[in-house]
Every structure is written in C-alpha cells, then in structure tokens.
C-alpha cells in the first residue's frame, strides 16, 4: 500500500450544508474496509431493532451480542464509565447494547455514503445530518489503529514514525496518519 496521505491533503469542501470530497476508488475501498472491520469487531450486522418498545427494551437490557471486553480495541471503543468493577458492570448492563447499536448505526451511515460514490466515480457527499456519524466512525477506526499500534501518546507515535521502511507497522502508521488528515479535513470544512 502506498501512503494514501500523499494525495489526500484537504479534500472536503462545503457545498451548502453538505461536505463534499473527491475520493478515488482505493480510498473509498480502504475506508469501507476499515469501517467494516470495526463493525464486525463490535458485533454489527445484527437484525434491526424491533418495532415493539418492550422487545426493544429487552434487547437493550442484554439480549444482543456481548462485546469481547478482553480485546483492547473493544475496551478502548467502549470504556468503562466507573473505576469500580461492580459499578462498571452494572452500567454496561444498562448501556452497552445501546452504545453498540449506535456505533453500528453510525458506521452504516458512513458505509452508505461510501457506497453512493459508486467506488469513487461520484463525489462523496456528507450531509449535515450525517457529519457526527462520520466523525464518530472515523475516530473509532483511528482509535482502533492506535490501540493495535500501541499509540498512547505523541512519543509513541513519534517512535513509530522512526521505524525502518521494511517494518510492516509503517503501513499502519501511514494509515493512522492519513485518517487523521481525513478527520482534520472534515472538521475544517465543517467549520470553514
């Protein structure tokens, strides 16, 4: 994989309420693949929420797939709300399914937007109502890469940037940096 950031500098521009970018087929496929991997990790692809409020409540109270909290990426994407394990477990019991479903729903928005580009043949259009889903999803993917790379600080990142070119982690570092540029571009266009 080449360094995708070489071309992707600040591609998002505001057009009315929408943010628009020209992505090539590689960039579309890359983002879609990364988002899909995170969705799979958090148990995405489950059936839509039931329309009956009681069934929906029962599902949110633990009937959905359990997150593998031993995976450090899952632990980072769904951090405990309390230091006390009993309180944290109780909080998870009442909130984890809703948080998981929200992450999957946000990812679905991103995947639908990428799909609408017809593999980069059409511009990527992020509608105003979808910006938050894009920011949360891309940040979640970037956090996942940071966990896998062991990036907890700027020093960790700087150390990884000094890796020899043959180290396979250099491609993941380039991807991590590129996603940072994508997020920065999206935010600048949003506020520009």
The tokens of 126 are what? 């992020």
Q: Does residue 144 surpass a pLDDT of 70?
A: yes
In percent, the amount of the chain with pLDDT more than 70 equals: 84
Helix H, strand E, coil C: the string for 137-177 is: HHHHHHHHHHHHHCCCCHHHHHHHHCCCCCCCHHHHHHHHH
Q: Does residue 59 surpass a pLDDT of 80?
A: no
In this structure, is residue 131 part of a structural domain? yes
Distance set, CA 58 to CA 8, 46, 50 (Å): 44, 15, 10
In this structure, is residue 4 part of a structural domain? no
In this structure, is residue 3 part of a structural domain? no
- Each residue's pLDDT tens digit, 85-129: 999 999 988 899 999 999 999 999 999 999 999 999 999 999 999
- Each residue's pLDDT tens digit, 69-87: 889 999 999 999 999 999 9
The tokens of 63 are what? 């009937």
Residue 10: pLDDT band (50, 70, 90) is low
Alpha helices in 22-149 (DSSP H): 25-41, 53-58, 72-77, 85-115, 131-149
Task: Give me the domain span that covers residue 79.
Answer: 10-44+53-191
What mean pLDDT comes out for the span 173-181?
Answer: 94
In this structure, is residue 89 part of a structural domain? yes
The secondary structure of 98-122 as a DSSP string is HHHHHHHHHHHHHHHHHHTTTTTTS
- Per the prediction, the chain carries an average pLDDT of 88
Number of structural domains (the chain) is 1
The pLDDT value given to residue 40 = 93
In this structure, is residue 2 part of a structural domain? no
């Amino acid at each position: 994989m080449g360094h995708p950031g070489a071309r992707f500098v600040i591609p998002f521009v505001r057009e009315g309420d929408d943010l628009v970018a020209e992505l090539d087929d590689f960039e579309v496929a890359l983002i879609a693949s990364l988002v899909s991997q995170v969705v799979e990790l958090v148990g995405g692809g489950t059936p839509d929420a039931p329309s009956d409020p009681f069934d929906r409540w029962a599902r949110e109270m633990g009937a959905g797939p359990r997150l593998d909290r031993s995976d450090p990426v899952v632990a980072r994407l769904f951090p405990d709300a309390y230091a006390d394990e009993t309180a944290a477990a109780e909080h998870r019991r009442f909130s984890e399914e809703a948080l998981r479903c929200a992450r999957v729903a946000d990812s679905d928005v991103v995947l639908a937007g990428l799909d609408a580009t017809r593999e980069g043949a059409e511009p990527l259009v992020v509608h105003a109502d979808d910006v938050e889903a894009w920011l949360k999803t891309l940040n979640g993917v970037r956090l996942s890469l940071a966990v896998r790379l062991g990036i907890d600080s700027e020093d960790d990142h700087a150390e990884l940037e000094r890796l020899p070119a043959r180290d396979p982690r250099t491609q993941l570092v380039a991807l991590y940096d590129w996603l940072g540029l994508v997020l920065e571009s999206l935010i600048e266009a949003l506020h520009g």
